[in-house]
Amino acid sequence: MASEFGKVGVLFGGRSAEREVSLMSGRGVLEALRSKGVDAHGFDPAERSIAELAAEKFDRVFIALHGRYGEDGTLQGVLEQLGLPYTGSGVMASSIGMDKVMTKRIWLSHGLPTPRFIVLDSKEATHEDLRKVPDELGLPLMLKAPHEGSTIGISKVIGYSEMQSGFDLCAKYDEVVLAEEFITGRELTVPVLGTGRNARALPIVEIRAPQGNYDYEHKYFSDDTQYLCPAPLDEELTKRIQSLAVRAFNAVGSSGWARVDFMLRAADNEPFLLEINTSPGMTGHSLVPMAAKAAGVSYEDLCVEILRSADLDLKPSQDWKPA
């Protein structure tokens, strides 16, 4: 019943480098919820204030924001203060998931596989520091801005001479740069729905981009990228990767929904965790709706299921009411 949700806010747009993608996601979610009879209203935090958000008297919100100020725990903290249930992970899990370095450290502490890495200070790393990285991680390697998403602030380094330019690109976006071992193989992603013991993995998506270059253009706007869903993997490997996705999801304390990205090493079919997206894209090219469709769940029903999971980390007492 759509009436169970009350007045719903769909938060999209925002101030991050992923604003353009978020606008596409939010419009899709808004249209889907309205098609199901939900009293849904768009709200762009870049154009309207938190005071206006509180004044709207929403009963719950669907977060379709990506990147900083929407996916990193800051907005979640505001919604906790307002007592306004929201979709996706809570404050801490959102903050962890937005930080690729912290995520990898937590996964390692849980015995989960992730590529070897080095963290470099964006302002203090010297040319000599950069030259040492390929000696330890090998070539090629990846350089990433660890607090960005949508392949923003990422560079593949083939030779020593490319370290400085790749580092400079990533340093524009972040205070630290993540240097990561490059895993040669197949790129996979696994959406996860639910929370805790009820978390479940959707079908695996394999991404085959031209020349293996799954950049911003190929991710959201190009029709050249191939998506195979369910990914052509044997049953045992499929279950193993899906299990790893759920374990990775729970290790960082995620809830509601997320998407876990992998590389499957060509040499031995060993999977490696790359990152978790706690507010994944919901555009026409996005992978969570694609996996849901393969599982028999329409885009509209997926949006409703995610909205139904809206919650708070800190539940208000029964006698508390918002002002």
Q: pLDDT tens digits for 47-89?
A: 999 999 999 999 999 999 998 899 999 999 999 999 999 999 9
3-state helix, strand, coil in the chain (%, to 5): 40, 25, 40
Res 320: pLDDT? 58
Q: How far is CA 257 from CA 14, 62, 78, 139, in A?
A: 20, 12, 20, 34
CB proximity list for 212: less than 8 A, separation 6 or greater: 187
Give the CATH number of domain 117-181.
3.30.1490.20
Long-range contacts of 264-267, Cβ-Cβ distance < 8 Å, separation of 24 or more: 264/185, 264/186, 264/187, 264/188, 264/233, 265/183, 265/184, 265/185, 266/184, 266/185, 266/186, 267/184, 267/185
pLDDT at residue 110 tops 90: yes
Helix (H) or strand (E) holding 273: strand 271-277
As a whole number of angstroms, the distance between CA 64 and CA 81 comes to 19
pLDDT of 210-265, one tens digit each? 865 544 444 444 567 899 999 999 999 999 999 999 999 999 999 999 999 999 99
Q: Can you give the residue ranges of every domain in the chain?
A: 2-87, 96-113+184-307, 117-181
pLDDT of 113-152, one tens digit each? 999 999 999 999 999 999 999 999 999 999 999 987 656 8
As a whole number of angstroms, the distance between CA 223 and CA 200 comes to 29
For the annotated catalytic residues, the residue numbers are 18, 150, 220, 259, 261, 275, 277, 281
As a whole number of angstroms, the distance between CA 280 and CA 261 comes to 11
CATH 3.30.470.20 fits 96-113+184-307, yes or no: yes
According to DSSP, the residues that pair with 205 across neighbouring strands are: 189
Verdict on whether the full-model pTM lies above 0.85: yes
Taking residues 172-178, what's their average pLDDT? Answer: 93
* Fold of the 2-87 domain: Rossmann fold (3.40.50)
Q: Which amino acid is at 305?
A: E
Instruction: Dig out the tokens for 62 from the structure.
Output: 């669907």
Instruction: Provide the 3-class DSSP secondary structure of residue 318.
Output: coil
Taking residues 24-41, what's their average pLDDT? Answer: 98
Res 153: pLDDT? 84
As a whole number of angstroms, the distance between CA 26 and CA 12 comes to 5
Proportion of the chain above pLDDT 70, given as a percent: 92
